[in-house]
Structure 1
Amino acid sequence: MKTRSRIQQGLSLIELLVAMALGLIITLFLSALFIRSNTTTRNLDQGAQMADSARFALNEIGRITRQTAFIPGKVNASAALGAERTDHSWSDKVTFSYNVENSRVASDNTMRDCSGTIVNAGDGMVINEFMVEESNGVRRLVCKSTIGSKTTVHAVIAENVEAMRVMVGYAMNGGGSGEDGGRGCIPNQFLFAKRSGEAPVALPMVALRVGLLMRSTNPQSGNIQNSTNSFPLLGQELSGVLVLRANDLNYGGGFNGRYLRRIYGASYVLRNSCAR
Structure 2
Amino acid sequence: MNLTLRDRARNSRTPHHQAGLTLLEMLISISLGLLLVFGIGTIFVGSNQTYRVQEENARIQEAGRYALEIIGRNLRQAGYADISIDPVATKTAFQGTPVNGVNTICPLGTPVTDLLTVQYDGRVGEQDCQANNVNAGDIVQHTFFIENNVLRCNAVRAAAAPAPPAACPAANTGVELLNNVEDLQVLYGIDITGDQSADRYTATPANWNQVVTARVCVLVRSPNIGVVAGNQNFLNCAGALGTVAAGAAFTNAADTRLRRAFVATFNLRNRVNNLP
Q: Which residue of 2 is the match for residue 205 of structure 1?
A: 211
Offset, 1:18? 0.9
- Give a deviation string over 1:55-90, Cα, whole Å, max 9, x none: 111100011122331536766433611112225753
2-structure distance, mates of 1:238, 1:41: 35
Offset, 1:273? 3.3
Q: Which moved more, 1:202-211 or 1:24-33?
A: 202-211
1-structure distance, mates of 2:22, 2:257: 53
The alignment status of 1:239 with 2:244, answered yes or no, reads: yes
Amino acid in structure 1 at the alignment position of 2:94: A
Amino acid in structure 2 at the alignment position of 1:256: A
2-structure distance, mates of 1:206, 1:96: 13
The alignment status of 1:131 with 2:145, answered yes or no, reads: yes
CA contact 1:82–1:96 (8 Å) conserved in 2: yes
Consecutive aligned runs of 4 or more in structure 1 exceeding 4 Å deviation: 1-8, 72-76, 241-246
Amino acid in structure 1 at the alignment position of 2:139: M
1-structure distance, mates of 2:23, 2:73: 74
Q: 1:112 to 1:9 in 2, by over 3 A?
A: same
> Which has the higher Rg, Structure 1 or Structure 2?
2
Q: What is the aligned counterpart of 2:114 among 82, 92, 95?
A: 92
Offset, 1:221? 3.8
Offset, 1:44? 1.8
Offset, 1:144? 0.8
Partner of 2:245: helix, strand, or coil?
A: coil
User: Does 1 or 2 have the higher relative contact order (CA < 8 Å, sep 6+)?
Assistant: 1
Offset, 1:203? 5.3
More strand by percentage: 1
Q: What is the aligned counterpart of 1:82 among 78, 100, 103?
A: 100
Q: TM-score, normalised on structure 1?
A: 0.74
- Give a deviation string over 1:230-256, Cα, whole Å, max 9, x none: 62435374223985746xxxxxxxx63
2-structure distance, mates of 1:12, 1:219: 49
Cα RMSD, aligned residues only: 3.1
2-structure distance, mates of 1:45, 1:167: 31
Q: 1:262 to 1:169 in 2, by over 3 A?
A: same
- Give a deviation string over 1:90-131, Cα, whole Å, max 9, x none: 30111101233xxxx37xx4x432223343433x22100111
Q: Which residue of 2 is the match for residue 67 of structure 1?
A: 77
Q: How does 1:89-238 map to 2 (within 5 A)?
A: 90-100=112-122, 105=123, 109=125, 111-122=126-137, 124-134=138-148, 139-148=149-158, 154-173=174-193, 175-176=194-195, 185-193=196-204, 200-201=206-207, 204-221=210-227, 223-226=229-232, 228=233, 231-233=236-238, 235=240, 237-238=242-243
Q: How does 1:31-50 map to 2 (within 5 A)?
A: 31-50=41-60
CA contact 1:39–1:221 (8 Å) conserved in 2: yes
More helix by percentage: 2
1-structure distance, mates of 2:104, 2:250: 15
- Give a deviation string over 1:152-173, Cα, whole Å, max 9, x none: 9601111111111110111233
- Give aligned-pair identity as a percent: 25
2-structure distance, mates of 1:210, 1:234: 13
Q: 1:92 to 1:193 in 2, by over 3 A?
A: farther
Return 5+ residue gaps in structure 1 as ranges: 177-184, 195-199, 247-254
2-structure distance, mates of 1:161, 1:96: 20
Return 5+ residue gaps in structure 2 as ranges: 1-6, 86-90, 160-168
Q: TM-score, normalised on structure 2?
A: 0.74
CA contact 1:64–1:113 (8 Å) conserved in 2: no
Partner of 1:218: helix, strand, or coil?
A: coil
